[in-house]
């Protein structure tokens, strides 16, 4: 039997009929990658999902938990600044630096372990490679998803399983020890808590890389951010998290980046528990339903010059397009009960790491290079060509670089 796939109006799915469309539609590769859907992002809408999400939010993402972990984030951001300072004048992969920093932040918050400096680049690169392979496989069509009788031929699912094992092998020993200590609690088994590492690290780092790519293509916007940072933070100070709410132009740049380059362009697929009507059309039970963010967030009837990078569109009313999914024309984190659980941390880290790097350094491309804005339209909207950049110090005192 052929599976139905639909792209539908967002509000009717994520708000008006959220309870009906709350389940995930997981293909075979996704089930292999998430241990049969035992994951916060892909678990069915049931009591186990609620327990996993509640514990994850309470222990990692509540206001108290985020405040308690602020020093961890500061340490990793400072380490990133120091790494860049040690490579001043040399081209380096900006996306890899962002990924490694995010990986350390999430691992430290969840298990208290990081990728140490001497192995950081190797592990970060290997882990990133595996995560990208898994995400790409999850987004590829699989004949068995549409013709279940051929499921026994599923090579894709096996490939994902092998990459999952490589991902676990690539994690530092501190992760393994912490996981073993917690295995007696079902919701903390590795299959339940590895999702935030791969998904949260990849999407957040990808957003930061897109933001830098846009700024390098738009020098005036780069100048505006750095002027704002000079005024709010000062060239004799380092960026702190308490500076972030005052950085309105930076917030506008991040929002515009997420509008043009949503990390998960079709969000995660949903599946109705019953036949429903959306936009005047009948949506059969168990259909695969997508929310098309690029179409919504570049709709010319809503957005002025929708294909242009114009952060100023968010300056006049910063509350008009919040990240919380209440504006159905702007949904970078989704909306409703399946909104991204990691949104509070992602918002903090995108702003904090980007602000720190832009404040600490001047940025340019290697001689003769331009920014390649081509991308892969898959589960994650990722640049095809790595962003190679060169940094030069911007702050007044060398000791500010650690």
The secondary structure of residue 186, as a DSSP letter, is G
CB 328 within 8 Å of CB 335 = yes
Cβ neighbours, 10 Å, residue 252: 22
Name the nearest CA neighbour of 260 among 221, 317, 224, 316.
221
Q: What H or E segment, with its residue span, contains residue 55?
A: helix 47-56
Residue where the block lists tokens 């880290």: 349
Which tokens belong to 223? 């100048």
Cβ neighbours, 10 Å, residue 166: 16
Which tokens belong to 175? 């992760």
Angle subtended by helix axes 195-217 and 343-360, to nearest 10: 40
Strand partners, 23: 271
The reply, when asked if residue 321 is annotated as ligand binding, is no
303-308: long-range contacts, CB 8 A cutoff, minimum separation 24 = 303/259, 303/329, 307/260
Q: What H or E segment, with its residue span, contains residue 357?
A: helix 343-360
Q: Are strands 92-93 and 361-364 parallel, antiparallel or unpaired?
A: unpaired
Q: Which residues are annotated as a binding site?
A: 340
Q: Which residues are annotated as a binding site for heme?
A: 340
């Amino acid at each position: 039997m052929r599976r139905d796939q639909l792209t539908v109006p967002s509000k009717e799915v994520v708000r008006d009929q959220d309870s009906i469309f709350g389940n995930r539609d997981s293909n075979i590769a996704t089930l292999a990658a998430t241990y049969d859907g035992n994951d916060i992002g892909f678990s069915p809408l049931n009591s186990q999902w609620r327990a996993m999400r509640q514990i994850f939010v309470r222990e990692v993402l509540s206001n108290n938990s985020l405040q308690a972990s602020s020093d961890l984030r500061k340490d990793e951001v400072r380490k990133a600044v120091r790494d860049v300072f040690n490579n001043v004048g040399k081209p380096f992969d900006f996306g890899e630096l962002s990924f490694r920093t995010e990986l350390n932040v999430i691992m430290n918050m969840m298990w208290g372990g990081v990728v140490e400096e001497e192995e950081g680049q190797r592990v970060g690169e290997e882990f990133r490679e595996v995560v990208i392979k898994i995400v790409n496989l999850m987004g590829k069509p699989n004949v068995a998803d549409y013709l279940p009788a051929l499921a026994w031929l599923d090579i894709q699912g096996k490939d994902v399983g092998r990459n999952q094992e490589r991902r676990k092998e690539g994690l530092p020993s501190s992760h393994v020890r912490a996981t073993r200590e917690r295995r007696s609690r079902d919701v903390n088994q590795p299959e339940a808590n590895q999702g935030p590492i791969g998904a949260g690290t990849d999407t957040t780092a990808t957003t930061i890389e897109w933001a830098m790519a846009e700024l390098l293509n738009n020098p005036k916007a780069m100048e505006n951010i750095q002027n704002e940072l000079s005024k709010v933070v000062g060239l004799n100070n380092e960026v702190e998290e308490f500076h972030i709410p005052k950085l309105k132009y930076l917030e506008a740049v991040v929002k515009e980046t997420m509008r043009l380059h949503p990390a998960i362009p079709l969000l995660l697929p949903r599946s109705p528990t019953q036949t429903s009507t959306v936009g005047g059309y009948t949506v059969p039970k168990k259909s695969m339903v997508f929310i098309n963010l690029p179409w919504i967030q570049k709709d010319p009837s809503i957005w002025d010059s929708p294909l242009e990078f114009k952060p100023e569109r968010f300056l006049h009313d910063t509350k008009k397009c919040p990240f919380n999914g209440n504006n159905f024309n702007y949904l970078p984190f989704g909306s409703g009960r399946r909104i991204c659980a990691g949104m509070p941390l992602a918002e903090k880290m995108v702003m904090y790491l980007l602000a720190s790097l832009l404040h600490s350094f001047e940025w340019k491309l290697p001689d003769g290079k331009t920014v390649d804005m081509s991308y892969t339209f898959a589960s994650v909207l990722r640049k095809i060509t790595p962003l190679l950049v060169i940094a030069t110090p911007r702050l007044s005192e060398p000791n500010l670089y650690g």
